[in-house]
């Protein structure tokens, strides 16, 4: 008899709390970004396609559908970590087949050699190259993501990827060197 009473009481309680939770989930529903947009926000938007998808958004979609989070070399280890944090997944090393995380670069067209073929313009995922047929082209440095995609199509090989130099405006203080290295053992 006691057992039955207990079961009944517990079931009743479960029912009530369930109802409260259900009500709360509807009443206080958080309207967040859909997960794809959140993932896309973390990706560096280089649009380089090194992940095997035609841009960052499609890769974000793929991650949301269960693809690995380590296919973005421009995002680097920090990117993998950010994705892992966002999605609650394991941090895994970067997929080296996709390429290495290098310094940030921008494309530079050696303008004397440019023949004005517009092939690079068509390749640029962010419309950062300016020019017209048979006229010299140039890269809008501020808009270039350093994705590399314009280098290959150029028939005269006049595009270089240059490292973005450190200037006083993007110079950064470093963390102090700990004389006692607490990271040494862990």
Partner 1 sequence: MERSTFKSEIPIYQIPGGIHPAEHKTESNQAAIQKLPLGKEFTINLKAQAGKRCLPVVSVGDKVLKGQVIAESDGIFSSYQHAPTSGTITAIEKLPIAHPSGMKDLCIRLEADSQDQWCDLKATKKYQELNREQLLARIFEAGIVGLGGASFPSHIKLQRQDGIKTLILNAAECEPYISCDDRLLQEHSKQILEGAMVIAQLYDDIEVIVGIEDNKPKAIQALVDAREACNKKNIKIAVVPTKYPSGGEKQLIQLLTGKEVPKGGLPADLGIVMHNVATCFAIYEAIIEGKPLIKRLVTLTGEGCNQPGNYWVPIGTPIHELVSATNSNRANHYIMGGPMMGFDIQNTEAGIIKATNCVIMNQQNPRDAEMACIRCGACMDACPASLLPQQLYWHAKSDEFEKAEEYDLFDCIECGACAYVCPSNIPLVQYYRYAKSSIRNQRVEKSKADKARERHEARQERLERVKREKAEKHRKAAEARRKAAEAAGQDDAKKAAVAAALARVQAKKKNQKEESS
Partner 2 sequence: MIQSSPFTKKKNSVAELMLWVVGATLLGLAAQVYYFGGGVIVNIILATVTALATEAIILKLRKRPIKQTLFDGSALATAWLLALALPPLLPWWMTVLGASFAIIFAKQIYGGLGNNIFNPAMVAYVLLLISFPVQMTAWLPPVELAQNPASISETLSFIFTGQGSNGLTVEQMRLGVDSFSMATPLDHIKSELSQGYRIVELKESPIFSNLSGVGWQWVNLGFLIGGIILLFKKVINWHIPFGVLAGIFITSSLLYVSNPDQYLSPLFHWFAGATMLGAFFIATDPVTASTTPKGRIIFGLGIGILTVLIRVFGGYPDAIAFAVLLLNMAVPLIDYYTKPRVYGHQNKSRNGL
Give me the residues that bind partner 2 (CB under 8 A), please.
173-174, 176-177, 180, 182, 184-185
**CA pair distance 146, 129, nearest whole angstrom:** 12
| Residue whose structure tokens are 């314009």 | 150
Ranges within 97-136 binding partner 1 (CB under 8 A): 125-128
Binding-site partner at residue 184 among partner 2, partner 1, none, CB < 5 to 8 Å by type: partner 2
139 three-state secondary structure: strand
Nearer to partner 1, 105 or 115 (CB): 105
Nearer to partner 2, 4 or 180 (CB): 180
- Partner residues linked to 94 by β-bridges: none
Nearer to partner 2, 1 or 178 (CB): 178
Near partner 1 by CB under 8 A: residue from 39, 50, 51, 56: 56
Binding mask 60-89 for partner 1 (x = CB under 8 A): ------------------------------
**CA pair distance 62, 168, nearest whole angstrom:** 39
CA trace torsion 56, 59, 61, 63 (10° rounding): -130
35: CB partners within 8 A, 6+ apart: 64, 87
Q: What are the start-end ranges of the E strands in the chain? A: 105-109, 129-130, 138-139, 159-163
Q: Where along the sequence are the contacts to partner 1 (CB under 8 A)?
A: 40, 43-47, 55-57, 125-128, 142-143, 145, 166-168, 170-176, 178-180
């Amino acid at each position: 008899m006691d057992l039955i009473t207990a079961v009944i009481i517990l079931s009743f309680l479960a029912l009530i709390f369930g109802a409260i939770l259900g009500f709360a989930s509807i009443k206080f529903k958080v309207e967040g970004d859909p997960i794809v947009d959140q993932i896309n926000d973390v990706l560096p938007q280089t649009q380089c396609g090194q992940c095997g998808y035609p841009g960052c958004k499609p890769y974000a979609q793929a991650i949301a559908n269960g693809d690995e989070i380590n296919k973005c070399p421009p995002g680097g280890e920090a990117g993998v970590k950010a994705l892992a944090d966002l999605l609650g997944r394991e941090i895994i090393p970067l997929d080296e087949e996709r390429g290495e995380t290098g310094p940030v670069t921008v494309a530079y067209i050696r303008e004397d050699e440019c023949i004005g073929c517009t092939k690079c313009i068509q390749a640029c995922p962010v419309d950062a190259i300016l020019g017209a047929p048979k006229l010299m082209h140039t890269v809008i440095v501020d808009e270039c993501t350093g994705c590399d995609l314009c280098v290959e199509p150029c028939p005269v090989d006049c595009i270089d990827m240059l490292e973005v130099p450190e200037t006083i405006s993007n110079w950064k203080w470093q963390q102090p060197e700990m004389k006692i290295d607490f990271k040494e053992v862990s």
